[in-house]
Every structure is written in structure tokens, then in C-alpha cells.
């Protein structure tokens, strides 16, 4: 299995550098054809959301659509796909950051009863408490 770094995933999604997009596309295609698989980790997904939002000024709806498209791909593998799905669902209608939604979902998956936070927006999410 081959793990993708954030810069490869961003180039694949944004396609703002044609040469790097084509290299990313070929790399992913080659790995999928050989059956070894391509993994997107939680850290890469968090960084990707931050880059798409802060560097490319993509709206939440655009990022949600991009991430949903990645999740819909049967060929790609994700670290803790269930937590990612729960985080995206929570983030869709929340003023909290994606990172907070993913942290909360991951903590629930790890058996935590709650996530303590000083972040007021995060404490409005299910499974969060004010610290």
C-alpha cells in the first residue's frame, strides 16, 4: 500500500499545476492497477482541509464534496473511514472546524465518553464538553 502526502492529494484534487496533477494521477492509477492500494491518513486529510480552506479559499461545501467523492471511491483506503464519515456529517451543519469534528469522532471511536475543549464552537458538538 502507498500512503499519499498532503501535497499529492491537494494537487490531485485542485489540479492547479497540470504537470503535478498528471504525476499524481499516474501514481495513484499505477498503485490501483497493481492492487497495492492507496491510503489517505487522518493527518493528511486534516492538512488537506486546512490547505483547501486557507490557501485555495474553497467553501466548506466544496471541501465536503471533494472529501465525499474521495470516500465514495472504492479504490482508495482511509485510516478510520467511519470516523471520517461521522466527522463530515457533523461538520456539514456545524460552525466548528473540521479538525474538531474529526477529533471528536476519533475520540468516540477510541472509547472516550467525551472530548474536553476550551473551543466554544467545538463544545456545541455532540460528545464535547467545556474544559
Look at residue 48 and tell me whether its pLDDT is greater than 90.
Answer: yes
Return the pLDDT at 102: 97
pLDDT for 107: 97
Are residues 68 and 118 located together in one domain of the fold?
A: no
Q: Please give the tally of structural domains in the chain.
A: 2
Residue 85 is predicted with a pLDDT of 97
Structural domain span for residue 123: 81-131
My answer on whether 44 and 73 are in the same domain is yes
- Domain edge (last residue) among 79, 106, 123: 79
Same domain? For 62 and 124 the reply is no
Dmax (CA) for the chain in angstroms is 48
The single-letter DSSP state of residue 119 is -
Same domain, yes or no, for 15 and 58? yes
One domain for residues 124 and 105: yes
What is the structure's pLDDT at 2? 95
- Please give the share of the chain, as a percent, with pLDDT higher than 90: 93
Q: Which three cell numbers stand for residue 42?
A: 487522518
Residue 36 clears pLDDT 90, i.e. is over it:
no
Q: What mean pLDDT is reported for the chain?
A: 96
Task: Indicate whether 34 and 86 sit together in one domain.
Answer: no
Which cell goes with 34? 497493481
Residues 49 and 103 in one domain: no
Mean of pLDDT values over 57-77: 95
Sequence-separated (6 or more) residues with CB below 8 Å from residue 99: 46, 49, 50
The reported pLDDT for the residue numbered 74 is: 83
Q: What is the mean pLDDT of residues 98-125?
A: 96
**Distance from the first to the final alpha carbon of the chain:** 39
Give me the pLDDT at residue 9, please: 98
Amino acid at each position: 500500500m502507498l500512503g499519499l502526502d498532503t501535497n499529492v492529494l491537494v494537487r490531485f484534487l485542485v489540479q492547479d499545476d497540470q504537470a503535478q496533477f498528471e504525476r499524481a494521477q499516474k501514481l495513484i492509477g499505477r498503485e490501483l492497477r497493481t492492487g497495492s492500494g492507496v491510503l489517505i491518513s487522518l493527518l493528511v486529510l486534516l492538512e488537506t482541509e486546512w490547505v483547501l480552506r486557507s490557501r485555495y479559499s474553497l467553501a466548506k461545501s466544496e471541501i465536503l464534496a471533494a472529501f465525499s467523492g474521495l470516500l465514495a471511491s472504492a479504490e482508495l483506503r482511509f485510516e478510520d473511514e467511519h470516523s471520517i464519515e461521522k466527522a463530515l456529517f457533523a461538520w456539514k451543519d456545524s460552525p466548528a472546524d473540521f479538525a474538531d469534528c474529526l477529533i471528536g469522532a476519533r475520540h468516540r471511536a477510541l472509547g472516550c465518553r467525551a472530548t474536553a475543549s476550551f473551543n466554544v464552537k467545538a463544545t456545541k458538538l455532540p460528545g464535547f464538553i467545556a474544559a
